[in-house]
Structure 1
Amino acid sequence: MKRLLMAALLTGAATLPATAPATATELVYGSWLGVTNKTNTDALVPYFDMVAEATGGDIQWEMIGGSQLANASGTPEAVGANMMDAGLVMAPYQPRMLPATNLIFSQSLVGEDLLASVGAMNETLMLHCDECHAEFAQNDAVGFAGYGVSPYLFMCRGGPRTIDDLRRMKIRGSGGGVAIIETLGGTPISMTGNEFTAAMERGALDCVLGSVQWLVSFGLMDVTDTVIDAPMGMGGPPIMMYVNRGVWEDMTPEQRQAHIDHAPDLVSMATFDVQIPADEAAVSQAKEQGITFIEGGPEYDAVMSERDATQYDLNIGNARDAGVEAPEPILDAYLASFDRWKGLLDDEGRDSDTFRRLLWDEVYSKVDPDAL
């Protein structure tokens, strides 16, 4: 889908800026998120502008949202086949294609430290998971710039309050959320973000286990009556830059470096300009609309403790069965990195500038774009 755009023609060169490049490479990014979703508009598009500026206009990314090119599960194949040049990839939607990346996604991080989780996800993906990059290469792609979401909550029809109320309910989950649903006695249902809202409306689902901002971004606000405010694990990373390998290799080294140089900006924008304010806005709107928020309490903490006590061995076994050769070092690095990032952020600060700097210092300054 790469196209060379003539920046000057003999008949029109005088009307163009003197700094316009002779040619520019126009690349297409296909997002299955809605056209106005803020991950698209407030993170990816500004990132594309940064890359364009850093490359003197030689690399131009065009955003096409709303699943116009591929849906969530079809994105890895669409990118690998060069039906689009890059897209947003969720490993749980294609676990057979991306088993090592899905291993990271399947480990539910306990607590509410979103920033530490995002730092750990990027560090593990970029520096401690050679099998992740090997599977990207096997699928004709390169992957970087993961983001995370706040701890998952139960968003439900009706008025469930307790664990007993959720038992035998049909609950949409993905990644580590599936095992959490099983632990409390619910029935996990696998659906993409483009499907579960309609299923809730039809009554085919009772709850969705996910980020509270999905009330807005996926339209759950109109089909949800109750949110159970108990942190049920953080998972990820969704990979914002999953790029066709041929497209990546056709770039100059300087152009590839520009993408990596600004990856911390992309991750930081996705966190501070999208995820955090979107959570706050969704909660405020939901309360205004009359959705009931229920404090989870100790019984929900006990579910997470039970899940955490068993998830390491289960995830290791599932990953090995899926073809991951050495899953233990990946998870060990992930958990150690999560603890390390908590300390880093406590010591250095938790504002956006500090987070961006730490992502560069601790992760992306150590990435060789030519070796991806």
Structure 2
Amino acid sequence: MPTYGAASRKLFWEESMKIVRAMSLLASVAIATTAQAENIDLAYAAYGPPTSSNVEFGVIPFLETAKEMSNGTINYTLHSGGSLLSAKAMLGGMTDGLVDGGQLLAVYFPSELPVSNLAMGLAPILRSGGPALAAAITEYVLLDCPECKAEFAEHNTVFLGAYSTTAYSLLCSKPVATLDDLAGKKVRVPGDFAYLASHLGMTPVNMSIGETYEGLQRGALDCSLGPVGWLEQFSLGEVAPYALDISYGVSYGGPIISLTQSLWDRLDDTQKTAFETGAAVGVFRAANAYIKTDQDVLASAGDKGYTVTEPSAPLVEKLGGFDAAFKEILLDRAKKGGIENADEIVSGFEKTLAKWETIVGEVGDDEDAFVDRMMNEIYSKM
């Protein structure tokens, strides 16, 4: 049996330690390689132009914030203005993975997203929008409505952030103030806002916002329902300079900020947090952009030749009778469509909205505080 002297034992020990250190280094490299985030270069589609409120102040800040927070692992290409996918093609593009994310409008997909559309269906009877409404529908879809979340998941979509306009006015080519003035007038309305138009004795016309200017110019329309900011944003003030401030109805939902499930599943925790933070920033800024645009238009209305009128007392009274009638229509239609818990969905969303109205009352215009609340109240619980 061989024996080893002190020198041999020392040499054996040194060589053994070299092997141990080499193995430790290899293990560290393997762990680091495994933990290294995948580089993401996503294609994001938006149907809105780059200067629209939801893209300029919602989608772009979402993407930029995620990029900045990702330690260099997230890049993006934005295809805006419907250059890659139109609004009506967006859900199919998400489902098929033609893009990695997109600005969606759920109202275009009532068959594919019936429960989500019910949660967003109170639009014609809401009186105010803003960050509270956008945050509320985001939370409701992600945390409180498993059917909503499942609908989006079925179409390879992760809902991350909603939008909210301000309350609508009637933007008309001629002065209007009374029910008699509105009788028979042709008004461009989206979706269920047709019920509101009919309730006021007007004739609803289904027309895209992109066609509205020409419709007003040629007399195919007398009015359009929308925020007063549209007088500038879509140049409607050139053909419809008379605004009747009914402050009734708000468009909300979207989502304007969403990613495909297939992309989401590839992200590490740092990247997910980057996208979630970006979504909260986009929700806040887009909603506030609508508010600021309205304020700017109202402040300069006289100088630009716009006339803003308050509705007559009988018209206001007529509006007051619309809420209960429309909610009955909404719930009855949902139940006939197979949504047995329709009452629960609507009341659940109203409860979430009340919660966020309180939160926004606390944080006010503080973007950082709003983002923190969205992260804590919503995204940390996904």
Distance 1:352 1:298 in 2: 38
Q: Deviations over 1:61-108 (max 9, x none)?
A: 221211111222222222222232222112222222222222122213
Q: Partner of 2:302: helix, strand, or coil?
A: helix
Aligned residue among 155, 159, 166 for 1:143: 159
Q: Deviations over 1:267-301 (max 9, x none)?
A: 112123x2222222233454322121111243343
**What corresponds to 2:143 in structure 1?**
127
Distance 1:262 1:281 in 2: 26
Aligned residue among 186, 207, 218 for 2:234: 218
Identical pairs, percent:
26
Q: Which residues in structure 2 correspond to 1:65-214 (within 5 Å)? A: 65-108=80-123, 109-112=125-128, 114-214=130-230
Change (3 A) 1:141 1:346: closer
Aligned residue among 9, 21, 37 for 2:52: 37
Which is higher, the Rg of structure 1 or of structure 2? 2
Aligned residue among 328, 342, 364 for 1:327: 342
**What corresponds to 1:275 in structure 2?**
290
Corresponding position: 1:53 with 2:76: no
Change (3 A) 1:22 1:265: closer
**What corresponds to 2:262 in structure 1?**
246
**Structure 2 unmatched runs, 5+:** 1-35
Letter in 2 for 1:104: A
Which ranges of 4 or more aligned residues in structure 1 deviate by more than 6 Å?
A: none
Whether contact under 8 Å (1:122, 1:146) holds in the other structure is yes
TM-score (norm. length: structure 2): 0.82
CA RMSD of aligned residues (A): 2.4
Query: Post-superposition shift, 1:187?
Result: 1.8
Higher helix share: 2
Aligned residue among 352, 360, 379 for 1:337: 352
Query: Post-superposition shift, 1:113?
Result: 5.6
Whether contact under 8 Å (1:154, 1:229) holds in the other structure is yes
Q: Partner of 1:288: helix, strand, or coil?
A: helix
Query: Post-superposition shift, 1:254?
Result: 3.5
Q: Partner of 2:321: helix, strand, or coil?
A: helix
Distance 1:259 1:323 in 2: 35
**What corresponds to 1:308 in structure 2?**
323
Letter in 2 for 1:161: A
Letter in 2 for 1:112: S
The count of residues paired between Structure 1 and Structure 2 equals 346
Aligned residue among 254, 266, 272 for 2:282: 266
Q: Partner of 1:243: helix, strand, or coil?
A: strand
Aligned residue among 241, 256, 260 for 2:272: 256
